[in-house]
Structure 1
Amino acid sequence: MQSSAADLPVKARPLAAPVANWTQFYIGAGLGFDFATGRSNLTPVGGGPDLFNLDGLQGADLGLSAFAGFDVQVAPRVVVGGFVDYDWSRQRTTASATSTFFGQSLSAALPSLDQGWTIGGRAGFLVTPDILLYGLAGYSEMRINNWNLNYLILGGGPSFTVQESALTSHGYTVGAGAEYRLANNVSLRSEYRYVALGRNTTVDPLGAVWTTDLSEHVVRIGAAYRFGQFGGPATASATPALTPTWTGVYVGAGIGGDVITPHVAGSFAGVLDFNASGLGGADVGGTFTIGYDRQIAPRWVVGAFGLIDAGTNGGAKVTASAGGAGVAISSDLAAVKWGWTVGGRVGYLVAPETLVYLLGGYSGTTAQSISYDFLGFPGTAPTREYHGATFGGGFERFFTDSISARAEYRVTHLGARDDLASDFMTSLSAGGTVHTLRGVLAYHLPTP
């Protein structure tokens, strides 16, 4: 018996793997830290030797961002887009030194970021349908709080005061980041940007010329709301379903950055008094952590943790001199050497595999040993451990049933210590704030 072609079984066409749609507009906000690096010099009216030089200036503190943009998914794994963002910073860096013995006084408010905006584009690769790794580039304008410098011969003689108005610097921005889409309309991201602001020259009312080279480093974690399906309806994710267990013990390790904004005051042999605020350093840091979480409700997780942080500032230093006046100051920049934190966290499951959380705890932080030379008084500050409260938050996502990744921001308020005097110091006290941002991979031990 013969069969016609119409009687033959028809093989169904294989379905294409569904791919999430990233073609959308979005708005969002973020927080993290900023720190400035650069050098400045002051040239007198008519030229001649520099009146003042500063090399290695660094100011660091909390930063906030608001942003908006759009993405277009041009291929199953490729996303391109444009963005604009606005940044605010709490950077305020001041330093002063007064010597009744030498009859000289020097005080300064250093250039620091106030606010600014960036417009640019980004291109990324989808390592999974919901996780985008991207690079970015753009044009930036930043409003800089400028110099306020006072140099005085106490008994009379050469002195000058410079109060420069704020200026707007412009340059380019490059950076990279990772973004995770929790749902079609909500995503979380972590991002680093380097802003090169170039050389800026200003002339004070007396005719002296300031020249400053300044760069900004901007580190943020943030959240975005994504509007509708701008390019068409989104399809289901092709990622296999996960069945993570949030209750249990975990261990983890991570890498990121720290900035420290210290407040320091002291006296050398009773003849030199100094005070500095915000003149801090940034470092690359690592973290080792262990903890226990418990899922107490379908959407809620609580836990306890302990962690150790370690960092290095790469030997960064700051030096300042007033030409012809015999005023010279140099010091290592404050940076985190290592620290520990014990605390707890509480989180909300926005998806079965994704936790958004807040944390709090108690910390001990040891700074890098600082060597200095203030107006010819050299020395090394003793190493001490500072203590204080830590607060922060982040988000964590399982990629397998036992491995998760998290992005986390912490701020630690360090209590002041007044037992730091050494060498020629009559007194020395210091305290400050540490901002920490980490990306961490964690392994969750099997539940017995």
Structure 2
Amino acid sequence: MRYKTVSLTLAVILAASSLAIAADPFEAAPASEAPDTFSWSGFYVGANAGYGFGGDGDISSEGQLGPNIANIATGARPGSVDLDRNGILGGGQIGYNWQAGSFVYGLEADISFTDLDDDRNIVTPQINTGLAQGNVFRSELDYLGTVRGRLGYALDRALFYGTAGLAYGRSTMSVDMFAPNGVRQFTGEKTGTNVGYAVGAGVEYAVTSKISLKSEYLYYDLGEEKLNVQAIPGTGVAGGYDSKFNNDGHLFRVGLNYKF
């Protein structure tokens, strides 16, 4: 009797289970959620540091009067001098990006304080005596700023971009020419803010949703600057020289951005 009761109970349980399975079939496991795609859109601020080189290049000088012209022609005064304005720089940037698909475009403004400078003392023979006389050329860039557009292609958290726009900077240029006895005969100095352009490229990688690291190259050109190197009264010379400085250079820098 007990065996029949147990068998009947098992039959009822199996039948109920079959009905439950038929009424409520197994549900498929929920699909795993896709990871969030990083977006470059938004406002950001950051800091940068780097190294600049190659500023100024060839400085050409021309005489203003006959004796000055003759000095350049005979090598008594240098007609061309090569300066390499090298040094470190550091500053900050601010910008905004918009992302459309894989393309990213934006605006960025930055300013860097620099230690870019160079000076060169060129010794030349005096035209009549052949005695050595010094000619000192100097150039320095105090700061450099840019306002640029950026256009890039994003591979998720990696952004490859090109950039171009306005550049400006404060530079100082000077020339001093001496007699064989060390007396300064010609001098000229000019300090001012120059405006030109900058162009370059870089890569930026988002370490987190807020922080990204970048590496960037820029070429800047602030135009040609002409310096009037005048004769100093009472030193036995007259006239002067026009020295033209090419106010340009290259930058390599790294930076960190924080996106809001």
Shorter-chain TM-score above 0.5: yes
Q: 1:94, 1:107 within 8 Å by CA — same for their partners in 2?
A: no
1:152-301 pair list within 5 angstroms:
152-154=179-181, 160-206=185-231, 208-227=241-260
The one-character-per-residue Cα deviations of 1:62-89 (angstroms, maximum 9, x if unpaired) are: 11121111111122x1111001111221
Residue 63 (str. 1) matches residue 96 (str. 2): no
The answer to whether 1:22 aligns with 2:22 is no
How many equivalent pairs are there?
A: 214
The residue aligned with 2:147 is 119
Gaps of 5+ in 2: 1-26, 232-239
1:236-385 matches, cutoff 5 A: none
* Match in the other structure for 1:40: 59
Aligned-partner Cα distance in 2 for 1:110–1:124: 38
CA RMSD, Structure 1 to Structure 2 (Å): 3.0
1:72 — aligned with what? 98
Cα displacement string for residues 313-349 of structure 1 (whole angstroms, at most 9, x for unaligned residues)? xxxxxxxxxxxxxxxxxxxxxxxxxxxxxxxxxxxxx
Q: Which has the higher helix share?
A: 2
Specify the code of the residue in structure 2 equivalent to 1:218.
L
Q: Which whole-Å CA distance do the structure 2 matches of 1:107 and 1:55 have between them? A: 10
Does the 8 A contact of 2:186 with 2:229 survive in 1? no
Q: 1:28/1:181 Cα in 2 relative to 1: closer, same or farther (>3 Å)? A: same
1:88-147 superposed Cα distances (whole Å, 9 cap, x missing partner):
2112322336699953231424223221211011011112x1111111001111212202
CA deviation profile, 1:229-274 (whole Å, cap 9, x unmatched): xxxxxxxxxxxxxxxxxxxxxxxxxxxxxxxxxxxxxxxxxxxxxx
Query: Is 1:146 aligned with 2:173?
Result: yes
- Indicate the residue corresponding to 2:109 in structure 1: 84
> Partner letter of residue 171 of structure 1?
G
- Given candidates 74, 78, 90, the residue that maps to 1:52 is 78
Equivalent residue letter for 2:120: A
8 A Cα contact 2:214 2:254, kept in partner: yes
Q: 2:118 aligns with which of 78, 84, 93?
A: 93
Query: Would the alpha carbon gap of residues 185 and 18 (structure 1) be closer, same or farther in structure 2, given more than 3 Å must change?
Result: closer
Of structures 1 and 2, the one with the larger relative CO (CA 8 A, separation 6+) is: 2
Residues 155 and 212 of structure 1: CA distance in aligned 2, closer, same or farther (over 3 Å): closer
Output the CA distance in 2 between the equivalents of 1:162 and 1:137. Answer: 37
Deviations, residues 373-406 of structure 1 (Å, cap 9, x unaligned): xxxxxxxxxxxxxxxxxxxxxxxxxxxxxxxxxx
Match of 2:190, SS state, is coil
Partner of 2:131: 103
Give SS of 1:91's match. strand
Pick closer, same or farther for the CA change 1:39–1:139 going to 2, 3 Å: same
